[in-house]
Amino acid sequence: MPPETVIAVLSSHRHPRLRYVLKELRTQLGFRFQLMTELTKWQEVTAHAKVTLLPYAGPELAVQWPAHSFLSGSHPTSSDLQVNRGDNDLPLFFSVPQIQGLSHDYLAMIFFSLSRYEEYGDFTADQHHRFPASESHAARNGYLHLPVVNLWAKKLGDSLRNRFTNLPAKKSSAIEFIPTYDIDLLWAWKYRGLRGIGAGLQDALQGHFLRAWQRFVSPKQRDPYQTLDFLEGLHQTYAVASPIYFWLLADSTDRHDPNPYPIPSEQQEWMLRLAAKHVVGIHPGYPSSDQPALFPIETKRLADITGRAVRHSRQHFLRFRMPETFRQLRLAGITHDYSMGYADAIGWRAGTNFAFSWYDLEREETTNLMIHPFAAMDVTLKNYLHLAPLAAKQSVLQLAADLEPFGGPFMILWHNTSFAEIYGWAGWQEMYVQLVSELGDS
């Protein structure tokens, strides 16, 4: 294996924000960046290429990148976040004096997106106390649908290759389709207890007589929410090797947590069966972001069932707060979180499809918690955006198409309950089959 390419970077500081963003660039560009602050040592380094960050001005052979004070710990002003449009309508902010063709600090833009800087400030929360897409810089400026971190990183990579033509190209990779499923409720009718009776009576009172009849009179037919056999068969047909399942094991005292706990033995059998083949994770209940003591309790429940340590998690209702929720997940042993997406919009909440390390902005430190972004959620497409199945499929496929130059994971969030025609999902099962057939490796 050839030695890894090292880019020597000269800067006037070694702030954790700068060190973090250079580390994350390695995923995007395939180069390792060595940060240095002493000119003489930087000049002595043998490297394929060298970069200086202003205010340093290195030799003419070096690539120079603009440097905004944001990466040395400052706070951006409203003018810093004013968006201009570059080539191919690429959104740009953190404007700086132009140098070597660059008039914006791309490293600062990347850090702003990956750190979720804006989610630490004041914002107008939605009804579930979440940071909504409508509050984001990306949505307000029309670039939420773009993998902007990938695009900004490419711009930096191009500046290196334009100056150093012997730099190796990053090994291209295909898009890897990763469907993920939140199992909030495995059955619509079975094992529902008093909640099931109440739901059936409500159906009858609201005129949904067929649903009430099927629940009480004809429960032997296939339960509309028990779709795991269907999903596993679909994955096998289209060679989808890495689905991920998240299980809700919260106490069912909150109305947003509909699962019956303790769970029935039949559900435990399914959990063991899937854990033997795939990654499974915990789906912390609705109150967990407000009551952090619930994280270790619910995580232990999953570990006791599967016999394995729990390292993967996604928040129910995508409820999380910066930085408290992620800190508590780490304390509970979680090393991979999959909550990085919006309920009210599709696109790239952190500007990329690639997993990245969570940066604790308050403590100014890089952590070992890996954040895995997803592109779209079924409930978003249907209930928030009010898309018909075909339009929803086209929207998802367009997000995937935008990743073609970069490759990497393409993750979506679906529910086992989102195929039940009798519960308002007519046409969505057929659409999902088509979607998987086009994104999977058939």
The position carrying tokens 């559900």 is 267
- Return left, alpha or beta for 122; rule: phi > 0 is left, psi -120 to 50 is alpha, else beta: beta
Note if the bond before 260 is cis, omega within 30 degrees: no
Secondary structure class of 251 (helix, strand, coil) = coil
Q: What angle do CA 210, 224, 300 make, to 5 degrees?
A: 135
Of the CATH numbers 3.90.1150.10, 3.20.20.370, 3.40.50.300, 3.30.1360.120, which one belongs to the domain with range 175-188+223-439?
A: 3.20.20.370
- CA distances from residue 254 to 33, 198, 259, 261, 285 in whole angstroms, order as listed: 48, 15, 10, 12, 9
- Enter the pTM of the model: 0.93
pLDDT of residue 401: 97
- H or E element in which residue 6 lies: strand 6-10
pLDDT of residue 442: 45
DSSP string, 172-210: P--EEEEEEEEES-S-SSTT-HHHHHHHHHHHHHTT-HH
Burial class of residue 405 in the structure, from the number of CB atoms within 10 Å of its CB (0-12 exposed, 13-18 middle, 19+ buried):
exposed
pLDDT of residue 57: 65
Residue spans per domain, the chain: 6-163, 175-188+223-439
Digits of tens for pLDDT over the chain (442 positions)? Answer: 567 889 999 999 999 999 999 999 999 999 999 999 998 899 888 777 898 887 776 667 789 999 999 999 999 999 999 999 999 999 999 999 988 889 999 999 999 999 999 999 999 999 999 999 999 999 999 999 999 999 999 999 999 999 998 888 877 789 999 999 999 999 887 765 545 544 545 654 565 545 555 655 555 557 889 999 999 999 999 999 999 999 999 998 888 998 878 999 999 999 999 999 999 999 999 999 999 999 999 999 999 999 999 999 999 999 999 999 999 999 999 999 999 999 999 999 999 999 999 999 999 999 999 999 999 999 999 999 999 999 999 999 999 999 999 999 999 999 999 998 888 999 999 999 999 999 997 4
Closest CA to 171 of 375, 31, 319, 307: 31
Half-sphere CA count of 416, side-chain side, radius 13 A: 24
Do residues 302 and 336 touch, judged by C-beta distance below 8 A?
A: no
- How far is the C-alpha of 285 from the C-alpha of 178, rounded, in Å? 23
- How far is the C-alpha of 246 from the C-alpha of 316, rounded, in Å? 9
pLDDT of residue 1: 53
φ, ψ at 431 (rounded to 5°): -65, -40
Closest CA to 180 of 377, 399, 354, 28: 377
Query: Strand pairing partners for 255?
Result: none
pLDDT of residue 223: 84
**Pairing mode of beta strands 175-183, 244-247:** parallel
